[in-house]
Structure 1
Amino acid sequence: MSAWLRDGEGVHPSTFEMAHGVTAWEFARRNPEANGLFNEAMACDSSLMAKVVVDTCGGVFEGLSSVVDVGGGTGTMAKAITEAFPHLECTVFDQPHVVEGLVGSGSLKFVGGDMFVEIPPADAIFIKWVLHDWSDEKCIDILKRSKEAATGRGKAGKVIVIDMVVGNHTEDHTSTETQLFFDLYVMVTLNGKERDEKEWEKLFVDAGFSGYKIVSRLGLRSLIEIYP
């Protein structure tokens, strides 16, 4: 930690990378046990979040025929979406080693790839708890690829983000404090960050989007619709 702090501002390895010699994502790719534990943790989070999203924010899926869940892991969230909205074609898009061996059914399928290179086209690109893992520069890259995917079929499309908006609970200091603890955690382990609304807005503008709307607060996190 002291070596990481001495590096100061700018691009530098995360504390995880300094300790293990590779990023957390590469570590998971090389270690099936670590990969399994991470995917299981994300699936548990998605199982809790899925019902809330479907029940309280289901309107964001109205008028859509297809959705790509970027970084969707083993598909827990996508399965909940397709069960609630059977007309939707839902693609779980994640790293090849994450989706390897996973078999879709009906309107659900799994595709491996790199979100920094290309994302499969769909009416909406869904990104849950992914962007906080990355720097502003990397987030802009992901958002640009998402915009390309959402507009690639000649439709306006949109991007749906679930992530923290720091300070969205202005009346609840405990919630804001918890958000800031998460900010510290992703900063030192992944070189990521939690963002307030102004920081999110700058990312969206820099990625070429025309507008956004914070649709709902989901506990510590929020659902944000972003428009090309």
Structure 2
Amino acid sequence: MALTGQSTDDQAVLDAEHELWATTFSYIKSMALKSALDLRLADAIHHHGGAATLPQIVARVAVHPSKVLCLRRLMRTLTVSGVFSVVQQEDVVVPAAPVNNGTCNGAVAAEPLYALTPVSRLLIGSQSSGSIMAFVLSPVLVAPFLGIGAWFQHALPDPCLFEQAHGEALWEMSGHDAALDALINSAMVSDSRFIVDIAVRESGDVFRGISSLVDVGGGLGAAAQVISEAFPHLQCSVLELEHVVSKAPAGTCVKYVAGDMFESVPPADAVFLKSVLHDWDDEKCVKILKTCRKAIPPREAGGKLKLKLLTIGADKKHGEAQALYDLFLMVFEGGEREEHEWEKIFLEAGFSGYSIIPMLGIRSIIEVYP
């Protein structure tokens, strides 16, 4: 039967309503992922070889017996969103979901077999990508977004969203909250290893042709350690604030230097900045880059600056994730930039050129030349 003009309009309205509901409920999708991290569901399924039934999962996680059917509903959401996949097993039956007062209607349904996907495989283990996802989804970082509407109504300068919600900056809070500090460190270490592992495998040439490298603002040195292990000839060092260096691991090939990147950077053939510049405004970015430029030799002598950055608009495939990540950074007064904005900063800092190597998903490696 052919659709009339009115029914076509109605369908468009219904499609729009569906999109609106999906967007409205998207925070529940994030909280479902947080639940998967808290319960270590990926590890439970991995324990059974990458696929497990609900009873097998329950046997590995701390779920109260009265919540087993609720867990089934959580798993349904996680499979619809692609965190896990599901395969029906026709020969295994379980009570159907409860109705009304919580009692079952006596029907039976096939027991699904939940399997890992490429997404959930990233969540296996204590040093997985789950560490940074747990940080991003922690209540302390979710809370600032509840006040974003009111924040837009106040003139700048104004406390950033995080300070508006908590009365202090993230780094101030982590200074007296040991659990938050541990969460941040775990997140930074796991993300550094994940990104640099891929960078070394897929484009190791960016680290060849140099004999020394300093990772500015490199935290506990996870990235520098991966680079050092892949290129033993490379002398790697980390420049960090003194209180960070005091927590650095011992027994590695990485040298730790206490200092301030706004004042000076140890000399090296190359300077590496992983997740630093997006925390600062243009003026401070230029100042950081100028100190980095002083630390490296001229371009003809092989000097270069290596940045791990998100360049908005550089990759249409990852546009939504990039925009969301940029909004996330706004919580701390940080932000990502488009290529022409980075170019302006590089030139103001005295660099002569740059090249973008889009090889890290939503992020890229950018080489900047003195």
Q: What's the TM-score once normalised by structure 1's chain length?
A: 0.88
- Return the alpha-carbon distance in structure 1 between the equivalents of residues 252 and 269 of structure 2: 18
Matched, 1:6 2:153: yes
Aligned to 1:185: 328
Within 5 Å, which residues of 2 pair with 1:17-32? 17-32=163-178
Shift of 1:40: 0.6
Aligned to 1:211: 353
Give the aligned residue type for 1:4: W
Q: Deviations over 1:115-170 (max 9, x none)?
A: 12222111111011221122222211211111112249x95521100010111222
**Contact residue 103 and residue 109 of structure 1 kept, 8 A:** no
Give the aligned residue type for 2:321: T
Q: Deviations over 1:166-201 (max 9, x none)?
A: 11222x2xx1011001111101x2111111111111
Range with bigger deviation, 30-39 or 68-77 = 30-39
**Contact residue 270 and residue 304 of structure 2 kept, 8 A:** yes
Could you say if the C-alpha distance between residues 28 and 155 of structure 1 is closer, same or farther in structure 2, counting changes exceeding 3 Å? Answer: farther
Could you say if the C-alpha distance between residues 113 and 35 of structure 1 is closer, same or farther in structure 2, counting changes exceeding 3 Å? Answer: farther
Aligned to 2:79: none
Aligned to 2:228: 82
Give the aligned residue type for 1:176: G
Structure 2 residue corresponding to 1:128, chosen from 274, 277, 285: 274
- Return the alpha-carbon distance in structure 1 between the equivalents of residues 231 and 346 of structure 2: 28
Residue 233 of structure 2: SS of its match in structure 1? coil
- Return the alpha-carbon distance in structure 2 between the equivalents of residues 36 and 151 of structure 1: 37
Residue 190 of structure 1: SS of its match in structure 2? coil
- Return the alpha-carbon distance in structure 2 between the equivalents of residues 37 and 58 of structure 1: 30
Aligned to 2:4: none
**Contact residue 202 and residue 359 of structure 2 kept, 8 A:** no
Matched, 1:41 2:177: no
**Contact residue 129 and residue 162 of structure 1 kept, 8 A:** yes
**Contact residue 28 and residue 35 of structure 1 kept, 8 A:** yes
Shift of 1:26: 2.9
Give the aligned residue type for 2:286: I
Q: Deviations over 1:25-62 (max 9, x none)?
A: 23333433322211110111112112211011211122
CA RMSD of aligned residues (A): 2.1
Structure 2 residue corresponding to 1:50, chosen from 196, 199, 219: 196
Range with bigger deviation, 206-215 or 98-107 = 98-107
Aligned to 1:99: 245
Shift of 1:104: 4.6
- Return the alpha-carbon distance in structure 2 between the equivalents of residues 47 and 5 of structure 1: 36
Could you say if the C-alpha distance between residues 104 and 92 of structure 1 is closer, same or farther in structure 2, counting changes exceeding 3 Å? Answer: farther
**Contact residue 220 and residue 247 of structure 2 kept, 8 A:** no
Range with bigger deviation, 176-185 or 154-163 = 154-163
Matched, 1:164 2:310: yes
Could you say if the C-alpha distance between residues 159 and 132 of structure 1 is closer, same or farther in structure 2, counting changes exceeding 3 Å? Answer: same
Aligned to 2:56: none
**Which structure has the higher relative contact order (CA within 8 Å, separation 6+)?**
1
Aligned to 2:130: none
Give the aligned residue type for 1:43: V
- Return the alpha-carbon distance in structure 2 between the equivalents of residues 159 and 126 of structure 1: 6
- Return the alpha-carbon distance in structure 1 between the equivalents of residues 166 and 216 of structure 2: 26
Could you say if the C-alpha distance between residues 7 and 148 of structure 1 is closer, same or farther in structure 2, counting changes exceeding 3 Å? Answer: farther
- Return the alpha-carbon distance in structure 2 between the equivalents of residues 106 and 169 of structure 1: 36
Shift of 1:105: 4.2
- Return the alpha-carbon distance in structure 1 between the equivalents of residues 294 and 155 of structure 2: 34
Range with bigger deviation, 22-31 or 74-83 = 22-31
Shift of 1:95: 2.0
Aligned to 1:198: 340
Q: What's the TM-score once normalised by structure 2's chain length?
A: 0.56
Q: Deviations over 1:91-123 (max 9, x none)?
A: 112222222142454641112222122221111
**Structure 2 spans left out of the alignment, 5+ residues:** 1-146
Residue 6 of structure 1: SS of its match in structure 2? coil
Q: Deviations over 1:62-109 (max 9, x none)?
A: 221111111211111111100110011111122222221424546411
